[in-house]
Chain A
Amino acid sequence: MTILSDKDRDAIVELLNIAFGRAAASLSELTGKRVILEVPQVTLCSIDQVGEVFSGLTADEVVTVQQIFTGPVAGDALLMLDVPGARHLCSLLTDSGVLPPHIGESEREVLTEVGNILLNACLGTFGNMLDISISFSVPWLRMEAVRGLLESLVIDNQELRYALVVSTDFSLKDGAVGGFLVLVLGVASLERLLAAVEAMK
């Protein structure tokens, strides 16, 4: 199992700070609101423990936009929002500005595109900084408890053993929308990531 040194962890956190920062800037441009971003958290854990990590991030049912990415570094990227926050975000992005009573078809469509923009901003920055090319799947949205997400995680198309879970939580300045950006990488990608970070130094 790869152990993250403090130096590696610091380099990854800095890289993700920049990548998540670009995603936050995109969200700010979309909503016209200032976005507050926390320092990314990096957790290396066995795949069995990923559920516990996620459960610690959010509770109950969440709206998740998920995108698989492939290339030298591959894994799953997730935007996770609680349901009230997702509804509020939709109201900021529609002409009427009315808070939708529930997440219907048009709200799902809006949130999927928001996820697409944020996840691409994050991973695209990541790819640019490491000078690697990443391909993206079409994003999809799901609403369910966090544990249900685990069944759909694809990590390197290999036996899932360990995962690097990196997350940051963000909120709009008025506090009405908060959520998490999460990347889950398998060990093979983690090693390639560390090699790319090393080459960047």
Chain B
Amino acid sequence: MARVLIVDDSALSRRLLRAIVEVDGHEVFEATDGLSALEQYYLQRPAVVFLDLIMAGMKGIEVLAKLRELDPQARVIVATADIQKSSVALAQEAGAAAYVTKPFDRDTVLATLREQLAEVAHPKESE
């Protein structure tokens, strides 16, 4: 079981994502904006963060940069409705570990999460 932080300003998306993540028995924390995401990350030290990009206030990409500044090992899976290849590239440049799009596909989300948790447990030598 791992600690997973979900950052999204939409209650619907948090609820849908939580339901998927809890299938694997993980402990889920939620944040509704960038500032509370940083606070929750500091307090909970989650193994993986799911992060929305389009949010009021601090944008997701800024939150990603701040999280990586706070913890260079932070594992952030961008979880967004933005399906553009240019946004995927931007997120990768900012240090995102993976990118999943809405509406969430249960199998894709779980596979991505398991892959990231496996890398947390057995980091690649290059990291």
Chain A interface residues (CB < 8 Å from chain B):
22, 26, 29-30, 93, 106, 109-110, 112-114, 116-117, 119-121, 124-125, 127-128, 132-134, 136, 138-139
Contacts and interface: CB of A to CB of B under 8 A. Distances in A.
Nearest to B55: A138
A26 B16 CA distance: 14
Interface string B92-120: 00000000001101000000000000000
B81 interface: yes
A114 B10 CA distance: 10
A182 B50 CA distance: 30
A109 B10 CA distance: 7
A128 B12 contact: no
A133 B12 contact: no
A29 B83 contact: no
Interface string B76-98: 00001111111100000000000
Interface in B45-78: 54-56
Residue from A93, A109, A120, A127 with most neighbouring chain B CB atoms (10 Å): A120
B103 to A, nearest CB: 5
B121 interface: no
B103 A120 contact: no
Contacts of B86: 127, 132-133
A139 B81 CA distance: 12
A123 to B, nearest CB: 8
B10 A116 contact: yes
Contacts of A132: 86
Contact of A133 (B56, B83, B84, B105): B84
